[in-house]
Amino acid sequence: MCRMVGYLGGPEARLSSLVLEPEHSLLVQSYAPKEMMSGVVNADGFGVGWYVPEDDEPAVYRSNGSLWSDRSFAGIAPKIGARTIFAAVRSATPGLPVEESGVPPFSSGPFMFMHNGAIQDFRQTAMRPLRDSLSDEAYSGLLGVTDSETIFAALLDLLKENPADLAGAASETIRHVTGVCDGLGVEAALNLAVTDGTAMAFTRYSTVGAGNSLYCLEDAGSFPGAFVVASERLDRDPAWREVPDRHLLAVDEGGASLCPL
């Protein structure tokens, strides 16, 4: 499992204000997560992506090392600000390799993507049918063998039809992936996140039982004028709200909306 956070704001936020500085930042969640449903630490890589003015494609910093050991990122994070940020720490699914190709956030063109969860026995079950369903373009963009990267490729195929409909593509991706997994009799945990720099969509979903934890915070003291979505609350602000299970949260500069999945 992974831990992830997304930021969509009015004011610019420093990368460190999400990843390193809060009381329960992603840095803390990398070695002391509170709500992991499997795994103990998130030491199998981390990544941060952000958008800069006049460039539709995000900048992404990824490593297959632990966040707490990366002194270079700790040095640059307080100096980089952005109005849209995705960040994650990774706990590799058993059976999948610890390598940079499996570290979120993934990016392609204007889009970034993260996945908190796993498909049961992915390489022996759903990997082949999910990859067989991809377009040639999406398939050729795959670099590794993870379930997360495969799900992102399926999402990209849907976004080709309507690039602005992040929520619709995320919802249809859930439908497609769960259809394949249900047919194979395997479980899937599918907390997904996608952004194009101007909007975000998050899902909290599992085919069996409750989905992994997910919270949201709007215009709060620590992040004024912004919307933050995170696997675990970054601080003790009482304004954090839990995203309901089997729901999709869509966020843009006009506000946020929830719909069932």
Strand order in the sheet with 255-260: 106-108, 111-119, 188-195, 199-204, 247-252, 255-260
Could you count the other beta carbons within 10 Å of the beta carbon of residue 198? Answer: 15
**Residues linked to residue 112 through DSSP beta bridges, in sequence order:** 107, 195
Could you tell me where the DSSP H helices lie in the chain?
15-19, 26-31, 71-76, 127-132, 136-140, 147-161, 166-184
* Residue of 186, 198, 208, 191 whose CA lies nearest to 249: 191
Which of the following is catalytic: 2, 181, 216, 259? 2
Q: What is the DSSP letter of 222?
A: T
By CB neighbour count within 10 A (0-12 exposed, 13-18 middle, 19+ buried), where does 54 fall?
exposed
User: Is 216 one of the catalytic residues?
Assistant: no
Q: Which residues are catalytic?
A: 2
